Structure 1
Amino acid sequence: QLESTERQINAVRDIMNESNFEEMPLYGNESDKARAFMKIQEGCNNYCAFCIIPYTRGKLKSRKVDDIVQEAKRLVDHGFHEIVLTGIHLGNYGVELPGRPTLADVVKALLEIPNLYRIRFGSIESVEVYQIHYHITAFPRS
């Protein structure tokens, strides 16, 4: 592209100042329409001494609940009945969004989608499972 336009292309950006969630649909294997992967969170604000993620992925960024629900509906319409929610630190989902929605709020919204039979988490820390279990257990699925 540089040769065709003869102008400089800036393909590197400062992820530490990036605050928007980068959409990246992950629809799984077309031959196995049982499971789709959906990235709902990226980055981390913890800066643990042993971890490089905040420096390579940037600050925590979460996808809006409405956007998650809309993509989940599209996935179900395309034949997927199981969605795996993925992210670097799912337990911190939503802390930077207006209204501070939680992962439990995402799950509650997804439970309203007909024909979505299973919701899984790509990775979540054990101390964060309580929050989801506590909020979801009392929520009857219609």
Structure 2
Amino acid sequence: MEHGQESWASSAAVRASMQANKSRDTAPELALRRAVHALGLRYRVAARPLPGVRRTADLVFTKAKVAVFLDGCFWHGCAEHHTVAIRNGQYWADKVARNKARDADTDQRLRDAGWEPLRVWEHEDVRAAAERVREAVRSHAGRPSTSPP
């Protein structure tokens, strides 16, 4: 934190906890990668499918043009498991709303560029999610490549 800047965190403990959150190689992400790899699929990890767009997918299948995002229930507002923050509730509600809007924008940008975005929730059964990934890669692999206008 720069000198003289206030922290957005409600306490030093919350700030430390937030800083410890990993942006990649989380347990659900590693489990999905192992399951997808076990199905014989190969992919790029934490890559940006669209040049010039700062959006990173967790798994990228370049030839098939499939981008997989493993979304956390809290961060992306899962209807089934999202919990409402007690402290700084409005801040977190706004943050999740921005994340959801960015996710929708990312999905649309990918579709417009001929990609297939695939979203997997962290709570999903990893084998079933891996099968969904395999199906998306198989069905999208044969499509003709399209380029944006």
TM-score, reference length from structure 2: 0.34
Q: Which has the higher contact order (CA 8 A, sep 6+)?
A: 2
